[in-house]
Structure 1
Amino acid sequence: PVQQEPASPHPFPEEEDFSLLSTRVADLTKELVQELRGCSIYVVGMMGSGKSTVGKMLANTLKYAFFDTDTMVEMAHDKKPVAEIFKEYGQEYFRNCETEVMKQLAPYKNLVIATGGGAVLKPMNWSYMHTGVVVWLNGPTSLLAQRVAKDGLARRPLLAPADSNGQPVSQAELYEAAKAKLDSLLSERTQFYESADLTISLEGYGQDAETGAPTAVVMYRLLLALKKKIDDTKAEREDRKNFTIVDTSDVSTMRVKPSPAAPLDDPPLP
């Protein structure tokens, strides 16, 4: 009989042990709550990356308030779904509404904000997001397509197959259409997503290889990255404080010299 190769060990064992993971999350949270000082967190990424799911768990963990820009736009339109807003008013109108939501939220602290997949395309949105920490949830389009195909077309207005004409499509057709569209969108948006302060992988290992890392694991990775970012920033500040001038021979005199463009004598006052 053919022997199967043993599964490769998980590169991050603590992610498999949820008891240990919970302890690590609790320890990280205690430190981060002090260090963040209320700094808000903006979650960006493609559709299907789990921005709302991860964002809610993160907000609950940090004792922050959670907002989803899509939901807030829907509430401003009598809870009309995003797909209907797209259809009735167009994508540009929706994006402008999204920007207005972010403008309203920007002055506040202690928020986790899940943004729409295309929020990164507008420079104005970045001016609001940079009031906090921007986190990109990054996963392969094969994983994202698998997730959004399960949602169906009703919730994903950008993913309708070009030739469907509103007709029912199979799950396989929907996956292929989603994968192609996501590939196209990601190629346009990657340069913008890369402007985020942190990039968090959605990659799963072992039994999670196909479905991606569980939400709790993604949040743990986010907390770890956030802690590292804060520690690195503090270290950089200390380095700037402790700099020394090794060789003063090349340092020019601090004596103020007259400008070569100035007249030798001050003109008489009128």
Structure 2
Amino acid sequence: MHSKSMEAMCGSTLQFFPWTGCDRIGGKPHAAVGGMMLNLSIRKKSGMNWIDLSKSACTRTSPGQRKFLVLSHGRKDCLESSTIELGNLYASFDKNCLLKRKAREVASCLNGRCIFLVGMMGSGKTTVGKVLAEALGYSFVDSDCYVEQAIGGESVAQIFNQYGEKFFRDNESEALQELSLMPQQVVATGGGAVVQPINWHYMKQGVTVYLDVPLDTLARRIAAVGTYSRPLLHFDSGDAYTAAFVGLFTLSKKRSDAYANADARVSLYHLAANLGLEDMCDLTPIAIAMEVLVQIGKHLKGK
């Protein structure tokens, strides 16, 4: 829509800048979003709030390029919450832009190689993997799901119960071999994939990253959703947290040396401390994905 007709429709401008980190350029509030300065204002018409997303004078924009976003209905009691939500929106948008910028930098060194995320169950490999894949323009694959589909759609828990762990591990190795031959993928591996030495041969065709999460945090995450889908942690007695923690402790003693083979390590404990967070559960997938890219970059430059 042409800016003049939009101006006529929207009427006067009511400006809100509740978030921090805004600069003032030429006496007008602006916000830096992904390296681009934006005019942020709310225009009202017929009970609607419109957000003016036109670029500032530092990057001249023709009137036809001005963009508007409908924020919410214009009731007075909504304005305060709306502006707070807008601040959160732009903070999130800015972090996404930074992540994609870092991804472009790392991708130039990866040359299409896959990223294999390793770590204990519940460490967030799938969640972080999807964010990484989107930022890099890669495909995402969960190796457990890959095995499930190859076997016929049965869940990992069903495969363990019906065929045993060895059968699953053999199929897991076949899956990793196939996945290692496919470029530009982020692969979230099963927690026990690291125990088979042959799997490292396959995963080392790409870059391996260990998501290191304290056992207490893992146990709390798993207890919150239950242990039924975790065949190595499912016990009939005891509370979910205790069962998860004891099982994870036993598994970690068997796997800790294997995890150390990863090319890069991301410690959520240290990341949370560096970001000033008291609880590691407050770490966002974007923050973890950014740290993964940072550590991959260090590994590649080290080579």
Confirm or deny a common fold (TM above 0.5). yes
For 1:194 and 1:21, the matched residues in 2 are separated by 30
Counterpart of 1:196?
262
Q: Secondary structure at the match of 2:228?
A: helix
Equivalent pairs: percent with the same residue? 38
Shift of 1:221: 0.4
Counterpart of 1:175?
241
For 2:227 and 2:220, the matched residues in 1 are separated by 13
Is the contact made by 1:39 and 1:111 (CA closer than 8 Å) also made in structure 2?
A: yes
Cα shift readout 1:237-260 (whole Å, capped 9, x = no counterpart): xxxxxxxxxxxxxxxxxxxxxxxx
Shift of 1:136: 0.3
Is the counterpart of residue 103 in structure 1 residue 177 in structure 2?
yes
Distance verdict in 2 for CA 1:176–1:212, change over 3 Å: farther
AA partner of residue 114 (structure 1)? A
Q: Secondary structure at the match of 1:93?
A: helix
- May I ask how many residue pairs the two structures share in their alignment? 210
For 2:164 and 2:106, the matched residues in 1 are separated by 40
| Counterparts of residues 73-112 of structure 1 (less than 5 Å) | 73-112=147-186
Counterpart of 1:121?
195
Greater fraction of residues in strand: 2
For 1:194 and 1:212, the matched residues in 2 are separated by 25
Shift of 1:22: 2.9
Shift of 1:222: 0.5
AA partner of residue 154 (structure 2)? K
Greater CA drift, 100-109 or 137-146: 100-109
AA partner of residue 106 (structure 1)? S
Q: Secondary structure at the match of 2:153?
A: coil
Counterpart selection for 2:139 from 60, 65, 72 = 65
Counterpart selection for 1:224 from 257, 275, 294 = 294
Q: Unpaired runs of 5+ in structure 2?
A: 1-87
Shift of 1:200: 0.6
Shift of 1:21: 3.0
Which structure ranks higher in relative contact order (CA pairs < 8 Å, sequence separation ≥ 6)? 1
Is the contact made by 1:143 and 1:212 (CA closer than 8 Å) also made in structure 2?
A: no
Counterpart of 1:259?
none
Larger Rg: 1
Q: Unpaired runs of 5+ in structure 1?
A: 1-15, 234-270
For 1:106 and 1:75, the matched residues in 2 are separated by 17
Q: Secondary structure at the match of 2:281?
A: coil
Is the contact made by 1:137 and 1:201 (CA closer than 8 Å) also made in structure 2?
A: yes
Shift of 1:154: 2.1
